[in-house]
Amino acid sequence: MQRILAEHAPGIVVVGLDAVPAYDEPVEDRPTFEGNALLKARAGLAATGLPSVADDSGICVDALNGMPGVLSARWSGPPKSDARNNELLLAQLSEVPAQRRTAHFVCVVAFCHPDGTEAVVRGEMHGHVVREARGSGGFGYDVVFEADEAPGVTTAELTPGDKDAISHRGKALREIGPLIGAALRG
């Protein structure tokens, strides 16, 4: 986030949850990525008084009617586990032919400013789910997803810069960056 937002808001300092006084994070119970991202950004602003950015993201698999979607992080049940989520997804798609393994990642980024400004943007990265996990970079479903814009490698096999250039999160952050910069200069 720091790397991408700095392009559009020079001098911005992004601080994570570990750099602010602890607060109870809201339960992500909204049925949409937009709802969950806005819920988290509003909670961050209310707890800290600082302009807040939050995202919600996940993978939407066409053969699974768009699931896991907003349930991506919890797809295999508690406790959260990327490895179990990937194993479950691959098992659910084991009999699905290659041409029907299409999917896309979604990232919705919400920004809330103390002056009442709110912005919500959405980025997507289209591709397909591969048959076995590959790569060690990234997190979540990166090891089982091959982007249309980077055929032959999973997003876990891309460099951080190459992934930022095509990813759903990179697209959303580049779109919201100028809005954040304008609000901070306000």
Residue 168 labelled as part of a binding site:
yes
Residue 169 labelled as part of a binding site:
yes
Distance separating alpha carbons of residues 149 and 112, to the nearest angstrom: 31
Residues with Cβ < 8 Å from 186, sequence gap 6 or more?
A: 113, 115, 117
For 35-60, give one letter per residue: b (16+ CB within 10 A) or e: bbbbbbbbbbbebbeebbbbbbbbbb
Q: Given the residues 29, 56, 62, 164, select the one marked as catalytic.
A: 56
56 is catalytic: yes
* CB 53 within 8 Å of CB 1: yes
Residue 163 labelled as part of a binding site:
yes
Residue 142 labelled as part of a binding site:
yes
Residue 56 labelled as part of a binding site:
yes
Residue 105 labelled as part of a binding site:
no
Residue 24 labelled as part of a binding site:
no
Q: Residue 9, SS3?
A: coil
* CB 141 within 8 Å of CB 53: no
* CB 84 within 8 Å of CB 126: no
Give the residue numbers of the binding site. Answer: 56-57, 139-142, 163, 168-169
Give the residue numbers of the binding site for Mg(2+). Answer: 56
Give the residue numbers of the binding site for substrate. Answer: 57, 139-142, 163, 168-169
| Residue positions annotated with a catalytic role | 56
